Amino acid sequence: PVYSETQPSWTLQIKPWVFNEYKTMWFKSYRMTFSCLNRINSYRYPWTRLYSTSQSTVDSSEVKTFLALAHKWWDEQGVYAPLHSMNDLRVPFIRDNLLKTVANHQLGKPLFGMKILDVGCGGGLLTEPLGRLGASVVGIDPVDENIKTAQHHKSFDPVLDKRIEYRVCSLEEIVEEMEETFDAVIASEVIEHVIDLETFIQCCCQVLKTGGSLFITTINKTQLSYALGIVFSEQIAGIVPKGTHMWEKFVSPEKLESILESNGLSVQTVAGMFYNPFSGYWHWSKNTSLNYAAHAVKSMTQEHTVPAANAATSPGVHEELKK
């Protein structure tokens, strides 16, 4: 895989995919034809409010879209087939990066003892595999029907029933309750659906322990992602339902990294991902112009202090990472 200098043993578990010559040339021509958008530089003041009850990252229109599809999460041949297939990449990506932080682990339960938050868990497609690896996982989603589906599915496995907890809520609703609780926070195929990315990342940082990991998979904001991710995938091929994505919410790796770094999260890895609609499988790629995965770690030196001028009114303010 692209994200590691050393080839991990799990690579052989990823199902192969093959393009014929015509399809290969078709995709290459798109890469050559479309140019990436200009990189967006973001600036953040040293003192920024971490969380306010008046802010929400949940988009009500997005909730309606996923509510209509809540009963289809576990249909491996249905609209969520690409997410089922994505587990071949994202589960090992999360597992292997987390194992770099521990000296020893249990055979068969490598993530035992770790607490993970799966934000926007949907029906539990990623939550359950993480639970099977031994982690204690909290899955949250603002769509009540999604959580009902997830609860029902995990109930068939007594082991998962003990390791996984599901809640109907948004991330910002549990920030104060679970501050610095988790070893890892997962936001897989989520940030392209939130309405306030800055606040979302701030909340992720707050619930992470110092040294904890944030894992994100999302879609780059390029003309290629519009052509293939929306026009082809939604309007032509019907790989995902129409209206699932809004190109305006896509975010480039550069902008995401800027937001992460400004919130005291050190980016470790950014790796391109590519979905082959003809085979139904994902593979790692050096090209991040479509989908990509990112891993960031909450800095050990991050300080949570309050400036004297605002201490009385802004208890949630923290000092930006000093360089």
Q: Which structure tokens are listed for 81? A: 């087939």
CA distance to 69, 184, 243, per residue, from 235 (Å) = 17, 35, 9
pTM: 0.73
CA distance 120 to 182: 16
**What is the β-pairing status of strands 208-219 and 291-298?**
antiparallel
The enclosing H or E element of 90 equals helix 81-99
**CA 260 and chain centroid, separation:** 13
Q: Poorest-confidence range of 69-73, 188-192, 229-233, 274-278?
A: 229-233
Q: Specify the higher pLDDT residue, 1 or 87.
A: 87
CB neighbour list of residue 82: distance below 8 Å, 6 or more residues apart: 239, 240, 275, 280, 282
298 bridge partner residues: 265
Pick from 17-21, 116-120, 227-231, 309-313 the range whose average pLDDT is largest: 116-120
Mean pLDDT value across residues 301-311? 40
The pLDDT tens digits for 10-40 are 433 434 333 344 344 434 443 443 333 333 3
